[in-house]
């Protein structure tokens, strides 16, 4: 069964829907250093060059989302997840 999943388990159906895996757990840290590839302030019309930032807060959650390798599906899955969580990605 696992071998079958590896070869065809990440295939989208004729409607563009497919499987996904979602893992969620409390983050084991209160801050995280990163370099966002999009402007975290969502400023339209201004140039953006990535820079290092630190995200900090209490009660942070870590989400891991595994999707098939299809650009449309990959974009829709996190947007749907964040919408359900009451938030959104910058620029959306």
List the beta bridge partners of residue 6.
none
Global model pTM greater than 0.85: no
Q: What is the pLDDT of residues 36-59, one digit of tens each?
A: 988 888 888 889 999 999 989 888
Task: Please enumerate in sequence order all residues whose Cβ is within 8 A of that of 35, keeping only pairs 6 or more positions apart, or say none.
Answer: 50, 51, 52, 53
Q: How large is the average pLDDT for residues 15-40?
A: 87
CA gap 37, 52 in Å, rounded: 10
More confident residue, 8 or 41: 41
């Amino acid at each position: 069964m696992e071998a079958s999943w590896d070869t065809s388990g990440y295939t989208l159906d004729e409607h563009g829907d497919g499987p996904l895996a979602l893992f969620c757990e409390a983050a084991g840290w209160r801050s995280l250093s990163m370099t966002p590839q999009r402007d975290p302030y969502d400023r339209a019309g201004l140039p953006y060059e990535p820079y290092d930032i630190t995200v900090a807060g209490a009660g942070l959650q870590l989400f891991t989302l595994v999707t098939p390798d299809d650009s449309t599906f990959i974009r829709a899955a996190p947007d749907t997840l964040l919408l359900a969580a009451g938030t959104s990605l910058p620029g959306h």
